[in-house]
Copies of this chain bind each other. A is one copy, B any other.
Amino acid sequence: MNVIEAIERRKSIRAYEDKPVEDEKLLAVLEAARLAPSASNMQEWRFVVVRDQATREKLMVASNHQLFVAEAPVVVACCAQTDGRVMRCGQVAYPIDVAIAIDHMTLAAVELGLGTCWIGSFYEDQVKEILAIPEEIRIVELLTLGYPAGPGRPRERKSLEEIVMYESWRND
């Protein structure tokens, strides 16, 4: 599957088949994250892969009771081990770096027939406690991973005209 096709097919998957993810596919998805670029090649991402049913149920509760978090056979807590470094542009590097790695995972997953969903609605302190994640680590997103039980809901997107400008702000 080519890149553009994977980007077009990727949807947020909130219903999963009761079928485990094969080890080799999980590793291929994690490898896609591993190869991601990061500011000054810091690679501050850390991934806690959860397959245990009881733990996923606790993560579901900590994620605002989104039931598919327990349903997905794999949940990845996407973390940063970081000193909070700020780039010259004023942006903190780690949320961007972790997002790049997660995006790689979501597209690799599509190619492997898997689905994912980015989850930002969770209580960081609760997830830290469930997974024994140290105080100083930040959890940027949770990511569910598994075989989709449907194609996912298509979402509207703004047109290119609404989001792209040429040469300067609104001067096209």
Which chain A residues have a beta carbon within 8 Å of chain B's beta carbons?
1-4, 6-8, 10, 12, 27-28, 30-37, 39, 41, 43, 45-52, 55, 64, 87-93, 95-96, 98-100, 102-104, 106-108, 110-111, 118, 120-124, 131-134, 137-141, 155-160, 163-169, 171
Chain B residue contacts of A88, Cβ below 8 A: 64, 120-123
Option from B27, B36, B106, B124 in Cβ contact (under 8 Å) with A90? B124
Complex Cα spacing A41 to B2, Å: 24
Given contacts A4-B108, A96-B140, A167-B55, contact A160 B34 (CB under 8 A): yes
- In the complex, 19 of the A-B residue pairs with CB atoms within 8 angstroms, ordered by the A residue number, are A2-B2, A2-B3, A4-B31, A34-B157, A37-B155, A41-B155, A43-B158, A45-B163, A46-B165, A50-B167, A51-B166, A89-B140, A91-B138, A99-B99, A99-B103, A100-B103, A104-B107, A131-B168, A132-B171
Cα distance, A33 to B4, chains bound together (Å): 10
Report whether B7 and A96 are in contact in the complex, using a CB–CB cutoff of 8 Å.
Answer: no
Are B121 and A47 in contact, with the CB atoms below 8 A? Answer: no
- C-alpha spacing A121/B2, complex, angstroms: 31
Q: A39-B120, A99-B100 are in contact. List 7 more A-B contacts (CB 8 A).
A: A7-B107, A47-B163, A49-B164, A89-B140, A90-B138, A91-B138, A96-B96
The reply to whether A37 and B55 contact each other, CB–CB distance below 8 Å, is no
